[in-house]
Amino acid sequence: MVLWIERIGRYCIALLFIAGTLQKLVDPDATQALLAMRGWPVWLMWPALALNAVGAALLVAGILPGPVGITLALYCGVTSYFHFLPDDPWQMSIVVKNWAIAGGLLMLAARGAERGFWRP
């Protein structure tokens, strides 16, 4: 039962990263604008897209849940920086969402560590 719940949780989190991948493919200008606004190189959108895609695939497959969880949690923390716009409630809700996702990913990483950090 617990493994099914964990699997469903991984799938739900993966959906967010799949959506992030598709958003970056369909409208790269939006992500590049956030990067440029903070003075970061816009080409970083492409590694972010790759991380979203690979991270989602690994979550779905259940491969390396510990390292994947930690890596994606860190990614969520970093991306919160780009959405931290206190005058924009929508962007602030994205910050909160990113930290909530990071928390779930860290729980997944802890669960992965229980089974053997580097094993599915």
What pLDDT, on a 0 to 100 scale, did the predictor assign at position 30? 93
Chain segment 84-99, per-residue pLDDT in tens: 999 999 999 999 999 9
Count of domains observed in the chain: 1
Q: Contact 52/96 with Cβ under 8 angstroms?
A: no
- Please tell me the total number of residues recorded for the chain in this structure: 120
Determine the structural domain holding residue 39 and report its residue range: 2-116
Given a cut of 70, is residue 7 above it in pLDDT? yes
Chain segment 13-69, per-residue pLDDT in tens: 999 999 999 999 999 999 999 999 999 999 999 999 999 999 999 999 988 888 999
Token look-up 């990071």 returns: 102
Res. 3 pLDDT band, cuts 50 70 90: confident
Q: Contact 74/111 with Cβ under 8 angstroms?
A: no
What is the rounded distance in angstroms from the CA atom of residue 69 to the CA atom of residue 55? 9
Res. 116 pLDDT band, cuts 50 70 90: low
- Torsion on CA atoms 92, 38, 68, 89, rounded to nearest 10: 10
Report pTM: 0.88
